[in-house]
């Protein structure tokens, strides 16, 4: 795993060492405790490994490396670095669930307050897009402030490195995924183009809305829930948990059935894959916004059960399992296929780049020469 994304970093705290040294055969089962060193026979090493593992597990705190060779690299000495004792308040503040709740509250509160304020003070002609755009910017700023002030680290997930290219690629991926599904439906005889509307500012306003939706859902879903859960438990549990929560959040959607919720859960895993691929939010935000806008404002297909009117008028016909019915294309089996193919490719690339974080039960290991 690359150093940039390793869950463990060096730490300077109290050090306890356990050194394995040879003892004559008759004394293999004897132990000698002197100061901070525990000496055991090599044949008794396995018996004491369990003790060391339990101590190490308790000492292992997500985000810190508690094992390193001591002295001149002699791996027969294993150093267990225990974290400094923190106050109850600090431990609570840095508990994963606490961080998720605080960060989510800040993101939602900043969005609501900014949107209401922008609506109140903006001129009528400026209310079409600016409240949503300003709110999206404020959500990103509140997330940045939370990470800097509470987690006290650089906000790498909002890094400007490759941000523009990832946004452009994300917009293309989101658009092409929808177009591929419409093309498949057309080829199967389930989609018919019935007319084209004039381009007006009414088609611009949904773009601002979808940008805002993409920003706040990805900041909360991937930047907060997925990332913090991944730091605590590892990538695979975080993918499952964040995807399930993403699906549950869409249950209130109109006409949401089993297929619609299942696809939404798959979409949650898909966006997690997009985040893991780059370890930044730009790609998943752009895909999310482009998908919603292309679906609703270009092809006039319902987005998460909400009826839409866009540039092209079309008609979907056929069974609900392939057209999505009233909920829209997001309840179609074609959407599931697209998410699995593209998301699977993202996961493969992320794994190839070493961007998966090992589960917590695999982060503790002892190397004894």
Q: What is the DSSP string of 122-188?
A: S-GGGTTTHHHHHHHHHHHHHHHHHIIIII-S--GGG-STTHHHHHHHHHHHHHHHHHHHHHHHHHT
List Cα–Cα distances, 260 to 175, 296, 297, 324, in angstroms.
Answer: 20, 16, 20, 8
- Which pLDDT score, from 0 to 100, does residue 199 have? 77
Q: Supply the pLDDT for residue 83.
A: 53
Supply the pLDDT for residue 328. 87
Rounded to two decimals, the pTM is 0.75
How confident is the model at residue 365, as a pLDDT? 53
Residues 307-341 as b or e (16 or more Cβ within 10 Å = b):
ebebeeebebeeebebbbbebbbbbbbbbbebbee
pLDDT at 133: 93
Backbone angles phi, psi at 347, to 5 degrees: -60, -40
Residue-level pLDDT, tens digit, the chain, 369 residues: 444 444 444 433 444 444 433 434 333 343 333 333 333 344 444 444 444 444 444 444 444 444 444 445 444 444 445 556 778 877 888 899 999 999 999 999 999 999 999 888 877 666 778 889 999 999 999 999 999 999 999 999 999 989 999 999 999 999 999 999 999 999 999 999 988 888 777 788 889 999 999 999 999 999 999 999 999 999 999 999 999 999 999 887 677 788 999 999 999 999 999 999 999 999 999 999 999 999 999 999 988 888 888 889 888 899 999 999 888 899 999 999 999 999 999 999 999 999 999 988 887 553 333
Does residue 225 contact residue 241 with C-beta atoms inside 8 Å?
Answer: yes
Q: Which 8-state DSSP code applies to residue 294?
A: I
Residue whose pair of structure tokens reads 């730490």 in the numeric block: 11
């Amino acid at each position: 795993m690359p150093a940039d994304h390793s869950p463990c970093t060096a730490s300077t705290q109290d050090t306890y060492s356990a050194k394995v040294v040879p003892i004559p055969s008759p004394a293999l089962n004897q132990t000698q405790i002197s100061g901070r060193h525990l000496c055991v026979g090599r044949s008794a090493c396995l018996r004491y490994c369990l003790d060391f593992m339990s101590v190490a597990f308790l000492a292992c705190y997500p985000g810190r490396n508690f094992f390193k060779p001591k002295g001149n690299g002699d791996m027969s000495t294993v150093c267990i670095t225990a974290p400094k004792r923190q106050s109850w308040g600090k431990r609570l503040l840095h508990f994963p669930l606490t961080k998720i709740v605080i960060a989510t509250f800040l993101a939602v509160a900043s969005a609501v307050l900014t949107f209401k304020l922008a609506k109140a003070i903006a001129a009528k002609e400026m209310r079409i897009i600016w409240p949503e755009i300003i709110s999206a910017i404020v959500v990103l700023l509140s997330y940045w402030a939370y990470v800097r002030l509470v987690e006290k680290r650089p906000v790498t997930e909002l890094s400007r490195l490759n941000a523009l290219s990832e946004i452009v690629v994300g917009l293309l991926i989101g658009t092409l995924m929808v177009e591929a599904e419409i093309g498949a439906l057309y080829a199967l005889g389930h989609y018919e183009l019935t007319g084209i509307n004039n381009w007006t500012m009414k088609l611009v306003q949904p773009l601002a809305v979808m940008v805002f939706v993409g920003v706040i859902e990805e900041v909360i879903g991937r930047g907060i829930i997925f990332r913090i859960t991944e730091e605590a438990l590892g990538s695979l549990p975080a993918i499952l948990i964040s995807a399930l929560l993403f699906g549950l959040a869409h249950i209130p959607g109109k006409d949401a059935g089993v297929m619609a919720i299942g696809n939404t859960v798959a979409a949650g895993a898909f966006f997690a894959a997009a985040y893991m691929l780059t370890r930044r939010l730009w790609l998943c935000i752009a895909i999310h916004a482009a998908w919603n806008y292309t679906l609703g404002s270009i092809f006039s297909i319902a987005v998460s059960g909400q009826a839409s009117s866009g540039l092209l008028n079309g008609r979907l016909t056929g069974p609900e399992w392939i057209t999505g019915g009233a909920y829209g294309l997001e309840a179609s089996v074609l959407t599931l296929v697209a998410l699995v193919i593209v998301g699977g490719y993202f996961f493969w690339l992320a794994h190839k780049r070493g961007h998966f974080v090992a589960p917590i039960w695999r982060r503790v290991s002892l190397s004894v020469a």
